Copies of this chain bind each other. A is one copy, B any other.
Amino acid sequence: MGNQTAVLTPQHEDFPRWYQGVLTKAKLAENGPARGTMVIRPTGYAIWERMQAEIDARIKVAGAQNAYFPLLIPMSFFEREAEHVEGFSPELAVVTHGGGKELTEPLAIRPTSEAVIGEYMAKWVDSYRDLPLLLNQWSNVVRWELRPRIFLRTTEFLWQEGHTAHVTESDARKYARRILHEVYQDFMRSVLAIPVIVGSKTASERFAGAENTMTCEGIMRDGKALQMGTSHEFGQRFSRAFNITYSSAEGATELCWTTSWGASTRMLGGLIMTHGDDFGIVVPPALAPVQVVVVVVKDIDGAVTRTASALAQDLKGRGVRVKLDDNIDQAFGWRATEWDLQGVPIRVELGPRDLADNVALLYRRDTRDKTQVGIDNLVAEVEQLTGRIQTDMFEAATARRDALVIDCATLDEAREAAQTGVARLPWELVGTSGERDLATSGVTVRCLQLSDGSLPDTDHDRGALAYVARAY
């Protein structure tokens, strides 16, 4: 690969420019025609589809059912919960005309569906036998963004949002944590290979209207944090606002305890900025829409193509997601650059000389190492390598993250450390006034965690450690 020319701005030179470059060059996404919107191209969308499938399967195991609620919500719905309306009002897109006429009540495009789902939960829940009610929705949402950035902050994005109602506070709490750990954390670690830091948000960083917000924070290669999935407890605030009540076994009318939780196309940004390098994105095998590309380097009489095609078929038969690149009209170097850009985890390269020696080159995208393997062993080698890359990518990302996290003893130290990485210090040294102080330097408390890695209870955060960083 020595003669490969750099197609991207190196990360160390200009990380934001590298990010923009890789979005374009890997054909992941581009800006939409309306400000702040994005077009997700097939290469990017295929990754999103795999994210959806993996998360959806975990959500179903957790017992939630998918449903669909309307895009357009009467403005009055937002006004029922004070903090919720305050949080979302500045971000709403408003439909004032429909069918050629001005509407009597303007409609908001959903920025989140708490309000409308709350309305229907109230209808559907009658007795304690109807609980828990566990709903999830895959949809688009719109939040007006002043500083849009593809995948990270866009006016429209795609996500799933779960909404649940429970009999007791303890049930609601357990479920919100189950989703955090068994859906988000497990998916992010075992599929995305991202060692997210899992913790609770401070009061000032909570979701609008939530009593507790728990988060999975990814640490990007540039030292900034990215909130990649959150799970919220609402206590009884939403059930009070929307009258979500049940009759207990004893016949009393009681308010439900509700939760909500979401993860979005932001995760694509997290994937790119956690694993990407100067040659493109790097997709972990468990996630990759194409895990292996079998490349015909060149061919004379069709023999190489036949063998490559047979190898691809064998891999497919073993359940590997594989693609054949027999496009020998284009130079091999150009094609290799493209596959690097798109981050396909494994490349099998085969040319006439390899065929004569009954070998192929096995290239792994994460380390960019090449080894020669016998064609007869190739399928087994690829299967082994798939698992190894997945593990190695998680370990490498963990090492990079750990190198970015710096233990600090004062707020000043933390502010300083957070300019290039993540500061960790006792929450007692920060506090609400420290948070305000950090904010003036563009730094926030990303989450609180107890020293054993577990989550502090809301308002019982003594002894908690604060992770402090700049954030996307």
- List, in ascending order, chain B residues with CB within 8 A of A94's CB: 95-98
Q: Interface digits, A38-77 against B, CB 8 Å rule (1 contact, 0 not)?
A: 1111100110110000000000000001111111111001
Within 8 A of B (CB), among A258-288: none
Residues B37 and A66 in contact, CB atoms below 8 Å apart? no
- Taking the complex as formed, is A119 at the interface, i.e. its CB lies under 8 A from any CB of chain B? yes
Q: What are the residues of chain B within 8 A of A33 when measuring CB–CB?
A: 70, 73-74, 77, 116, 119
Interface residues as binary, A309-330 with B (CB distance below 8 Å gives 1, 0 otherwise): 0000000000000000000000
Q: Which of B34, B70, B100 contacts A39 (CB 8 A)?
A: B70
| B contact residues around A203 at 8 Å (CB) | none
- Chain A residues 90-137 with CB under 8 Å of chain B are 90-100, 106-107, 109, 116, 119-120, 135
Nearest to A109 among chain B residues (CB) is: B95
Of the A-B pairs whose beta carbons lie under 8 Å apart in the complex, a sample of 22, sorted by A's number, is: A30-B120, A32-B69, A33-B73, A34-B72, A34-B73, A37-B72, A38-B70, A39-B68, A39-B69, A39-B70, A39-B120, A42-B135, A45-B66, A46-B65, A46-B66, A48-B68, A49-B66, A72-B93, A89-B100, A94-B95, A94-B98, A96-B96
| A98–B107 touching, CB < 8 Å | no
Given contacts A33-B116, A90-B100, 15 further A-B contacts (CB under 8 A): A37-B71, A39-B68, A45-B67, A45-B68, A70-B156, A89-B100, A92-B97, A93-B99, A93-B107, A94-B95, A95-B95, A96-B97, A98-B155, A99-B146, A100-B144
Task: Count A interface residues, CB 8 Å.
Answer: 52
Oligomeric state, in number of copies? Answer: 2
A142 contacts B by Cβ under 8 Å = yes
List the interface of chain A (C-beta within 8 A of B).
30, 32-34, 37-42, 45-46, 48-49, 65-74, 77, 89-100, 106-107, 109, 116, 119-120, 135, 139-140, 142, 144, 146, 155-156, 158
- A45 and B66 alpha carbons, distance in the complex (Å): 7
